Structure 1
Amino acid sequence: MANYAIFDEPYYRAQYPWVKAGIDAGIIKSGREHFEKFGQAGGLTKVSRYFDEETYLEGNPDLKPFVRTPNNPNAPFASGLDHFI
């Protein structure tokens, strides 16, 4: 099971304010549920002020071929955050 200890609910919801509409409509229970079901696979990486996708990938350039992009849609990781988690 993945460790989402880094996830910061208020931070995530502030970065992706449209998630609130899904919560208000009862489609999802929280920002964390949204992230786990949709956001992570969709490449939403702003889950904590302590993690920066760009910095992580710059510090780990060997990971770039393993992160999905339009030119590399079958890579194993949705993002650097997906690798980090």
Structure 2
Amino acid sequence: MASARSTRASAAVERLKRRTGVTSYSMARTGDGAFFLSERPGAPPLCAPLELDDFVVFVDGLGPQPEKRITKNDAAFEKQLVRKKP
């Protein structure tokens, strides 16, 4: 179970690296299983040690956010909603 936890946390860090273009972000784990993020190995942490879910939310909230993909049908539906408002 610990490897799945680390995989989910490291995947969040990899997404952050892709979004920001900064490849030096580093994740570490405390002895009690909490995670924290640094700008590079050995640098001060950017957050207090967090549980897995909180860590993933924190990391996913950093940097530029990916644009939401919208289908042609969704776009057409949004246009209809705008027209129907009084």
**TM-score, scaled to structure 2:** 0.24
Which fold has the larger relative contact order, with Cα–Cα distance below 8 Å and residues 6 or more apart in sequence? 1
TM-score (norm 1): 0.24
Report the structure number with the largest CA radius of gyration.
Answer: 2
Task: Considering fraction of residues, name the structure with more strand.
Answer: 2
